[in-house]
Amino acid sequence: SGFVMSVYAHFGVKLPRTGQRNSGYAVGSLADARPGDILCYSGHVALYMGNNQIVHAATPEQGIVIGNASYTTIIGIRRIF
């Protein structure tokens, strides 16, 4: 959530550190997701890049990584603008 918050802050959008699952508005499915949408997982959030890819803060050792959006169950997708 800190990574997502800092990316949006770079573009002048203030998001909460927690509760990003309630920011913006809901997107129906991954098929409807656009780059920049927030993908919410259980205890984790990521930014959608398109083509079923996300960028997110993995672990302190791995840092910021690109991965598969469907690596685990998506519990919500939010669009800020």
Q: Measured between alpha carbons, how far is 68 from 81 in angstroms, rounded to an integer?
A: 23
pLDDT single digits (tens) 57-70: 999 999 999 999 99
Q: Are 54 and 46 in contact (CB under 8 A)?
A: yes
pLDDT single digits (tens) 2-31: 999 999 999 999 998 777 778 899 999 999
Model confidence, pTM: 0.91
CA angle (50 as vertex; 39, 57 as ends), nearest 5: 50
